[in-house]
Amino acid sequence: MPSISAERFRSSTLAIAISALLCLVGSGFVAARAVESRPQLPTDFADLDLEFQGRKLRGWALGTEGLLADWYWMRSLQYIGDKIVKSEAEFINVEDLRPLNPRLLYPLLDNATDLDPQFMATFSYGSIVLPSIDPEHAIALTKKGIAANPESWRLYQYLGYIYWRQKRFEEAADTYDRGSRIADAPPFMRQMVAAMKTQGGSRETAREIYLQMRDQADDQQSRENAELRLLEIDALDELDAINVALRSTAERTGKCPASLRQIVPSLRDVKLPGGRAFRLDSNGDLADPLGFPYRFRGEDCLATLNETTRIPKQLD
């Protein structure tokens, strides 16, 4: 059997090595070009679509529908939590999650409520977070809850709240009216009928709505959100009084005060709703209900909420 000479062996090995190197370089070039020319995908594609639909799983889950509903509920919370963690924003308002682009939130909540139509915490959460993202889906989700739980006045409260947020006061009034006719519905529901018809956009109506939401919330997130909204209303009441004092001082003296500290004495006789008093921080500056100093804009002689406060800034 003929043998391959050492010289021919070395030549063959070298040729194979050069070919492999050229292939490696070529593949690297192709990969680099592919990365450069790759189209930019919309941020929507960062979310994976749901594999199943709850309504199709119902009846085939061998009695585990409730467990699956809990899983979709927890997944919806984790989904938003992950987006908040990855967000660069200093503060996320749970009532306005649009900056997070949470396109899968409604399908997750829809699946949970398909599997367990009596899952009230899901409807409560949806009524808080969905209206700013997709109001029609928020309405559809809550109406689905009403259809499955016609004797639950709370679902009418949630739907009335969604309509109120959309400034659809007539629909809100009708919804509160239908809910008020359910056995055990609190007097609050009947009071909201009149409020929607006469002063739906007023701050006092908002205060009553958030007080009820705080006291009757089915989940901690909804309760905390209602508390923040109540603090926002308190802050807006305080800012109204502060800005009246600023304008009054400017008209009397011919110039805007140099700081908010100068008007503190004139606020001592101001009566805030609920008998509340103005707050001063450790530096003696007027502060919001969470202790953040109010921002003073000397150029237009106006006080506003500090950008760093956790109090929402969207009610008015």
pLDDT at 231: 94
pLDDT at 55: 54
Token readout for 212 is 């009820």
- Range 155-172 average pLDDT: 95
Residue 293, strand partner residues: 287
pLDDT over threshold 70, residue 297: yes
- Range 16-42 average pLDDT: 47
Per-residue pLDDT tens over the stretch 257-275: 999 999 999 998 898 988 8
- Range 12-21 average pLDDT: 52
Average pLDDT, the chain: 82
pLDDT at 130: 93
- Cβ(293)–Cβ(285) below 8 Å: yes
- Range 208-228 average pLDDT: 85
Q: Is residue 159 part of a domain?
A: no
pLDDT over threshold 50, residue 3: no
pLDDT over threshold 90, residue 29: no
Token readout for 21 is 């190197």
Of 93, 116, 149, which residue sits at a domain end? 149
Long-range (24+ apart) CB contacts under 8 A made by 85-88 are none
pLDDT over threshold 60, residue 94: yes
Of 112, 132, 149, which residue sits at a domain end? 149
Share of the chain above pLDDT 90, in %: 54
Domain that includes residue 84, residue range? 52-149
User: What stretch of H or E contains 303?
Assistant: strand 302-304
- Range 185-213 average pLDDT: 91
pLDDT at 35: 42
**What's the total number of domains in the chain?**
2
- What letter represents residue 146's amino acid? I
- Range 67-75 average pLDDT: 88
Q: Which residues neighbour 305 within 8 Å (Cβ) at sequence distance 6 or greater? A: 235, 239, 288, 292, 294, 295, 311, 313
Of 96, 124, 149, which residue sits at a domain end? 149
pLDDT at 43: 46
SS3 of 152, please?
Answer: coil
Q: Is residue 102 part of a domain?
A: yes
pLDDT over threshold 70, residue 45: no
Q: Is residue 136 part of a domain?
A: yes
Query: Of 99 and 245, which is predicted with more confidence?
Result: 245
pLDDT over threshold 80, residue 314: no
pLDDT at 54: 46
- Range 80-101 average pLDDT: 80
- Cβ(189)–Cβ(181) below 8 Å: no
pLDDT at 217: 78
pTM of the model: 0.72
pLDDT over threshold 80, residue 64: no
Q: Which residues neighbour 58 within 8 Å (Cβ) at sequence distance 6 or greater? A: 65, 114, 115
pLDDT over threshold 90, residue 241: yes
- Range 12-22 average pLDDT: 52
